[in-house]
Structure 1
Amino acid sequence: MKRISIILVLAILLTGIIPQTVAAEETNFNYVDAFAKSILFYEANWCGPDAGNNRIKWRGPCHIEDGKDVGLDLTGGFHDCGDHVKFGLPQCASASTLAWSYYEFKDVFIAKGQDEYMLNILKHFCDYFIKCFPNKTTFYYQVGDGDVDHQYWGPPELQTYDRPAYYAATPSNPGSDVAGDAAAALALMYLNYKDRDSVYADKCLQYAKDLYNFGMTYRGNSKGQSYYLPRDYLDELMWGSIWLYVATNDQTYMNNVEKLMVEKKISGDNMFNDNWTQCWDYVLTGVFIKLATLSNDPRYKIIAEDHLDYWQNRLKSTPGGLRYLDSWGVCKYPAAESMVQLVYYKETGNKKYLDFAKSQIDYILGKNPNNMSYMVGFGDNYPKYPHHRAASGVLEGPPADEKKELPERHILYGALVGGADMKDEYHDNVNEYVYSETGLDYNAGLVGALAGMSKYLGGNQMPGPTPGIEGEPTNYYSEAKIYKKSNEGLTIDLNLYNIVTSPPKYETGLSCKYFMDLSEFAVAGINPSKFTTKVYYSPAKAEISSIQPWDKDKNIYYVEVTFPNSQLYARTYVQFAVYNYESKLWDSSNDFSAVGLNDTAYTKLENIPIYKSGVKVYGKDPSGGTEILYGDLNDDKQVDAIDFALLKKYLLSSDSSGINIKNADVNQDGDVNALDFANLRLYLLGKAVLPVVQ
């Protein structure tokens, strides 16, 4: 009986210490779905020649010459926010915070199927840091000029300006903060990866030690132009110290923490009011949370718990209940703080920490006055205009001259926006980036918070669907309106569209044809030399042919507009004219390509077809029913399941089986492969239009 009583008492005590999973009815959201999507954001911000070699197929290789100005390969890493600079502090801090979240909640990453994705992201960070540290006294930490980069709005794949290795930490220009954060990330990678690949893990640990020693030896703050101006570097060096201590059990690193605390004037009876939270320039909160359990000094637990209490009870809130720390990136701070409190809940089992995190994460996911999720792609009501060039997909400036205010071409799944202001108001406007900005460090704490929420409140939840991340086939179409018409001829405003998004790329060899019925000139004889064709305006330097016969017996002619010296993307505008100044018999109403044209608004028209390298990819011509669709592999004048089966058989066996290989090249890239199979599948599902050929 006595033994049973002791066991019972121990069970009761342990119940109060070990965090308990909360019943499903207490949850409000699918936290696991939010968790999975929050990770996906980093794949959208992936930089380098391997971008797109993950789940985000609307991304592709970009910035493949980073580092060439210093004779190094500095490709890789991640774009900072909705821009394409690789800034130092936010990248290094985000990597260490993400690695910390994996370290603390590894079990839930595995249980919910997110471990491979997260480790892939963490390795991409670490591969980049290793490249950027070519010797023990040089660490490149910014690639790209923020001032120049921010003048560009378009997909990163199309960005071609020279990207300098803008800042490097050296003995004469130190960067202790970036060195400390990167060392923490690399040491954590050792801890997270040693059971998977010990050779790579050991390499990361060695680089962590060398970077840390570099930062400790040559003291000073990094730079960030006007965008990221650090306060001090002591917290980052402490952060690196802690994780190297955890990785090596070398007391020297913990002794260094104490020395750095003295430099920070935290010694003796001098406490510290740690009221900020984990972000790009502040990792001291993480330092105190870890020291509260790693160190025997009771001060650290007092400081950590005072910090947690400040956020729970003393920090002001919006009317809807979101803790409000700063006006820029309003949501990212309570998201990061939620991670911190959940880590402490994991250690203590005190439910008030879980309750706090739930209140803040629920607000972010939609339990707020706007009933709006501030995570893109989560729920039914979320931001549609995050300030993010890759997700936008539009290109301002030539050749497209689009506007960033257009509907975004992709869903930036998982991105945390700045969110609502102090009054719980949110402006879903791409230009109001205080509200709509996204960023590496916005999501860093959020991933950890949602991992904790999934662990304790996720129950049997699993991720939901993420449609659209595979991208879509190229969408070609034309729209036009009449600029001017008379009995002498016709002037047309035309937009040629080639929406190439999987991934974005410029295209060459595009043209379009305008077909005319010149029967009104037949009595007098149609003399092509009497007709004038001209391009009046074209930023893409379009050229126009003379009138050409299509069907002389029916008096059908055409002009072809080409772009021989230009690469085109998304939208290409041209104004062209066809006139006969002598006869003054022009009547455009009978023209094949004029059907549906008006002089007030652009109209999408199939009768102005588009061609790529001479092959029709959109629209109709006057030939009637003589076209053969690409994908019609058995030449029966229709595309159906039989063609799908034939192409599948060919791809599996490399046996043509009588297939017309040209017709099997569905996307006309000169090769017959799995992409043609995918395009034909999308067509049969009604999700794509196949190109046609005469």
Structure 2
Amino acid sequence: MKRVMAFILSAIIMVGVIPQPVMAADNQDFNYVDAFAKSILFYEANWCGPDAGNNRIKWRGPCHIEDGKDVGLDLTGGFHDCGDHVKFGLPQCASASTLAWAYYEFEDTFIEKGQDVYMLNILKHFCDYFMKCFPNKTTFYYQVGDGDVDHQYWGPPELQTYDRPTYYVATPSNPGSDVAGDAAAALAIMSIIYKDRDSEYAAKCLTYAKDLYNFGMTYRGNSKGQSYYLPSDYRDELMWGSIWLYVATGDKTYMDNVDKLMAEKNIGGDNMFNDHWTHCWDYVLTGVFVKLATLSDNPKYRRIAEDHMDYWQNRIRTTPGGLKYLDSWGVCKYPAAESFVQLVYYKETGEKKYLDFAKSQIDYILGKNPNNMSYVVGFGDKYPKYPHHRAANGMLEGPPADEKKDAGMRHILYGALVGGADINDKYIDDINEYVYTETGLDYNAGLVGALAGMSKYFGQGQVPEEVPGIEWEPTKYYTEAKLYKTSNEGVVIDLNLYNIATSPPQYEDDLTVKFFLDLSEYASVGIDPSKFSTQIYYSQANAKISSVMPWDKDNNIYYVEISFPDEKLYARTYVQFAIYNYQGKVWDSSNDHSTSKLTNTYKEIDNIPIYKKNVKVYGVDPSGEEEILYGDVNTDGVIDAIDLGLLKKYLLSMDEDTISIKNADLNQDGFVDAIDFAQLKKILLK
């Protein structure tokens, strides 16, 4: 009987089919499918280009739409690297190839769990960008943005207006074999994935992959990354490109090149290679050996791959809580990537120790750790609330807003893997402690693959959960103020005007505030309101203040208007202004509409209303009329029942150039079935 079973197992191995167990429900410690879906969503938050926001993340919008103009090319697209906005070469190319590899290995899971459309969209955005960056066979642009300058800016990418240099380009005299190899791998895998979906696009990807690979092989050398990404050796990336071009074409020349590159690294004969790092932005040898273990008939590669995995299972340092610890920066990303590698190997071999390893590490990352928290943002009941990420934070440090990034996060950065706990399982949830809270393309790349594998083997019956907070929200307007100084002659007011425009972040113009006064006590003694003085004491936004003007002259109601004709505003605008009268009458603020509720402490004051293009969008004027606050605005693109006041408020906060809903159908029954926002705005603002 043993001989028969041995024969059957041998036959199974020879044809490369390993039966995969279906895990019991009691092994489902977490909703792995939910974590899987969220890990993909992170890339939509890091999307760069004019089409940012044309996905599920509606708090993102077009950004960096002039990338490449300094070299006369359209280099828009791609992805922001981490919580910054530079498009660094090596981590972007490596992440793209890793994500494509994940899809290649677990395509059935992506499809079954409904994540294929999202992942393919992301991969195409990567590949389209790489092809833009390769305008001819000896030129590959691979970094846009100056990291030193970029890191001095804290604010949403949509508001970043400085010129972004095309910082690095690979040429024959300044090679970048590593970025060329990784990008070629991503494009080659894409050609395989797309072969039956869009043969023309697949062929285009393969052509670019071959040309990029040949460029990298012909002109040898490492890319650059300022002080942020300093590559060690380019040969592993060229091997990575070789392997995937072999898989895509079947051309043995590419496998021969792998052997030649191995020899260059002194990995020849039967010698072992201490491959103890793991798959990441500067090191793809782990992926190389895992693929060679199944593609090559040279047993050396299987020995190297299995020694590598044994090191991670049994010999690497481990935190007290059980996390495998490779490096102090990006602690969680390494065991996440290693889990992906071992799950791929499990898929090929069926040896349970590889599955067990992956489960132990992913379970730690998802919450089975001393802190009882997930290190994936938005997953579980307890997760990092303050990832180091400018777009999700949404605050703008510097004028006009002068906000502080540690004031809170405006958005949940769903799916982002943070650096995580240290060697002692300690985690500091602080946006400024970026060793713990950093995120990145490279961090999530291995995680996506690992969670695809976990979903395949432990995700039976699981579905993604809802992700509230990624949809569109209207601009939030309000004012807060305090009495800075009062005297017998007048008042000095500290005022903050808020226009929290987050879907997407955008500067606004044509905003004003009105500060109302009841001058009855002056009228009774014949003092002319035109004799009052008004002055701006402080404003970074170059605020202007009007003279005292009549609102309801018969009832002695006047106002001053504060405007910002030379500036565009975002989030918070501070103004200190004064209103004085020096004609001997003691100032009495108790009857003034806008002053009556003020104290020496900041608080929201609805009696100082805000106007956009002369239409009130917040607050109460002396007539008592408020803007209408109720309506039923859905997120399905259709407004079923309209409160015109609320709709007007929504429309005023929107740029019709960004609206995609067309074909107006304005009925006479009080309902609007489909809205052309620009047209409706004209009707409402008449």
User: Matched residue of 1:590: which SS?
Assistant: coil
Say whether the 8 Å CA contact 1:547–1:557 is kept in structure 2.
Answer: yes
Say whether the 8 Å CA contact 2:98–2:446 is kept in structure 1.
Answer: yes
* Corresponding residue for residue 606 of structure 2: 606
Deviations 1:533-592 (A, max 9, x none): 000000000000111111223221111110011000000000001000122420112111
Deviations 1:29-79 (A, max 9, x none): 000000000000000000000000000010000000000000000000000
Q: Whole-Å Cα distance in 2 between the matches of residues 10 and 566 of structure 1?
A: 76
Alpha-carbon spacing, 1:105–1:225, altered in 2? closer, same or farther (3 Å): same
Say whether the 8 Å CA contact 2:628–2:645 is kept in structure 1.
Answer: no
Say whether the 8 Å CA contact 2:551–2:559 is kept in structure 1.
Answer: yes
Deviations 1:302-342 (A, max 9, x none): 00000000000000111100000000000000000000000
* Corresponding residue for residue 342 of structure 2: 341
Are 1:197 and 2:181 an aligned pair? no
Alpha-carbon spacing, 1:272–1:58, altered in 2? closer, same or farther (3 Å): same
Q: Whole-Å Cα distance in 2 between the matches of residues 327 and 643 of structure 1?
A: 45
Q: Whole-Å Cα distance in 2 between the matches of residues 75 and 360 of structure 1?
A: 37
Deviations 1:286-316 (A, max 9, x none): 0000000000111000000000000000001
Say whether the 8 Å CA contact 1:617–1:693 is kept in structure 2.
Answer: no
* Corresponding residue for residue 667 of structure 1: 651
Q: Whole-Å Cα distance in 2 between the matches of residues 197 and 643 of structure 1?
A: 35
User: Matched residue of 2:590: which SS?
Assistant: helix
Are 1:533 and 2:534 an aligned pair? yes
Say whether the 8 Å CA contact 1:275–1:310 is kept in structure 2.
Answer: yes
Alpha-carbon spacing, 1:670–1:39, altered in 2? closer, same or farther (3 Å): closer
Are 1:325 and 2:309 an aligned pair? no
* Corresponding residue for residue 67 of structure 2: 66
Say whether the 8 Å CA contact 1:616–1:693 is kept in structure 2.
Answer: no
The offset of 1:619, in angstroms, is 0.4
User: Matched residue of 2:55: which SS?
Assistant: coil
- The 5-angstrom pairing of residues 175-190 of structure 1 reads 175-190=176-191
Q: Whole-Å Cα distance in 2 between the matches of residues 670 and 45 of structure 1?
A: 22
Say whether the 8 Å CA contact 1:539–1:573 is kept in structure 2.
Answer: yes
Are 1:506 and 2:507 an aligned pair? yes
Say whether the 8 Å CA contact 1:528–1:546 is kept in structure 2.
Answer: no
- The 5-angstrom pairing of residues 225-244 of structure 1 reads 225-244=226-245
Alpha-carbon spacing, 1:18–1:540, altered in 2? closer, same or farther (3 Å): same
* Corresponding residue for residue 88 of structure 2: 87
Q: Whole-Å Cα distance in 2 between the matches of residues 347 and 105 of structure 1?
A: 12
* Corresponding residue for residue 617 of structure 1: 617
User: Matched residue of 1:559: which SS?
Assistant: strand
The offset of 1:664, in angstroms, is 6.0
Aligned AA (1:376)? V
Q: Whole-Å Cα distance in 2 between the matches of residues 411 and 641 of structure 1?
A: 24
Q: Whole-Å Cα distance in 1 between the matches of residues 655 and 209 of structure 2?
A: 47
Q: Whole-Å Cα distance in 2 between the matches of residues 666 and 151 of structure 1?
A: 33
Q: Whole-Å Cα distance in 1 between the matches of residues 423 and 633 of structure 2?
A: 60
Q: Whole-Å Cα distance in 2 between the matches of residues 673 and 211 of structure 1?
A: 37
- Residue ranges of structure 1 left out of the alignment (5+ in a row): 631-638, 652-658, 682-689
* Corresponding residue for residue 654 of structure 1: none
Are 1:367 and 2:368 an aligned pair? yes
Alpha-carbon spacing, 1:605–1:364, altered in 2? closer, same or farther (3 Å): same
Alpha-carbon spacing, 1:670–1:286, altered in 2? closer, same or farther (3 Å): closer
Alpha-carbon spacing, 1:640–1:363, altered in 2? closer, same or farther (3 Å): closer
The offset of 1:530, in angstroms, is 1.8
* Corresponding residue for residue 493 of structure 2: 492
* Corresponding residue for residue 472 of structure 2: 471
Say whether the 8 Å CA contact 2:88–2:144 is kept in structure 1.
Answer: yes
Aligned AA (2:607)? N
Say whether the 8 Å CA contact 2:154–2:397 is kept in structure 1.
Answer: yes
* Corresponding residue for residue 421 of structure 2: 420
Deviations 1:444-484 (A, max 9, x none): 00000000000000011000000011131100000000100
Alpha-carbon spacing, 1:213–1:593, altered in 2? closer, same or farther (3 Å): same
User: Matched residue of 1:588: which SS?
Assistant: coil
Are 1:120 and 2:121 an aligned pair? yes
Say whether the 8 Å CA contact 2:631–2:641 is kept in structure 1.
Answer: no
Say whether the 8 Å CA contact 1:82–1:388 is kept in structure 2.
Answer: yes
Say whether the 8 Å CA contact 1:18–1:347 is kept in structure 2.
Answer: no
Aligned AA (1:263)? E
- The 5-angstrom pairing of residues 87-486 of structure 1 reads 87-486=88-487
User: Matched residue of 1:184: which SS?
Assistant: helix
Q: Whole-Å Cα distance in 2 between the matches of residues 41 and 663 of structure 1?
A: 31
Deviations 1:228-259 (A, max 9, x none): 00000010000000000000000000000000
Deviations 1:242-278 (A, max 9, x none): 0000000000000000000000100013220000000
Aligned AA (1:210)? D
TM-score by length of 2: 0.92
Say whether the 8 Å CA contact 1:628–1:693 is kept in structure 2.
Answer: no
Say whether the 8 Å CA contact 2:547–2:560 is kept in structure 1.
Answer: yes
Deviations 1:100-157 (A, max 9, x none): 0000000000000000000000000000000000000000000000000000000000
Larger mean Cα displacement after TM superposition, 661-670 or 320-329:
661-670
TM-score by length of 1: 0.91
Q: Whole-Å Cα distance in 2 between the matches of residues 121 and 612 of structure 1?
A: 37
- Residue ranges of structure 2 left out of the alignment (5+ in a row): 666-670, 673-680
Aligned AA (2:450)? A
The offset of 1:17, in angstroms, is 3.8
Q: Whole-Å Cα distance in 2 between the matches of residues 278 and 151 of structure 1?
A: 30
* Corresponding residue for residue 634 of structure 1: none
User: Matched residue of 1:33: which SS?
Assistant: helix
Q: Whole-Å Cα distance in 1 between the matches of residues 7 and 520 of structure 2?
A: 101
* Corresponding residue for residue 553 of structure 1: 554
Say whether the 8 Å CA contact 1:19–1:348 is kept in structure 2.
Answer: no
User: Matched residue of 2:104: which SS?
Assistant: helix
User: Matched residue of 1:405: which SS?
Assistant: helix
Say whether the 8 Å CA contact 1:79–1:86 is kept in structure 2.
Answer: yes
The offset of 1:520, in angstroms, is 1.9
The offset of 1:20, in angstroms, is 1.1
Alpha-carbon spacing, 1:390–1:404, altered in 2? closer, same or farther (3 Å): same
Say whether the 8 Å CA contact 2:335–2:361 is kept in structure 1.
Answer: yes
Q: Whole-Å Cα distance in 2 between the matches of residues 402 and 261 of structure 1?
A: 52
* Root mean square deviation, CA, Å: 2.7
Deviations 1:629-669 (A, max 9, x none): 49xxxxxxxx667999xx85899xxxxxxx98997684235
Say whether the 8 Å CA contact 2:632–2:639 is kept in structure 1.
Answer: no
Q: Whole-Å Cα distance in 2 between the matches of residues 105 and 642 of structure 1?
A: 39
Q: Whole-Å Cα distance in 2 between the matches of residues 275 and 464 of structure 1?
A: 36
* Corresponding residue for residue 633 of structure 1: none
Aligned AA (1:71)? G
Alpha-carbon spacing, 1:665–1:155, altered in 2? closer, same or farther (3 Å): closer
User: Matched residue of 2:542: which SS?
Assistant: coil
* Corresponding residue for residue 25 of structure 2: 24
Q: Whole-Å Cα distance in 1 between the matches of residues 259 and 231 of structure 2?
A: 22
Say whether the 8 Å CA contact 2:12–2:18 is kept in structure 1.
Answer: yes
The offset of 1:518, in angstroms, is 1.5
Say whether the 8 Å CA contact 1:184–1:243 is kept in structure 2.
Answer: yes
Alpha-carbon spacing, 1:665–1:623, altered in 2? closer, same or farther (3 Å): closer
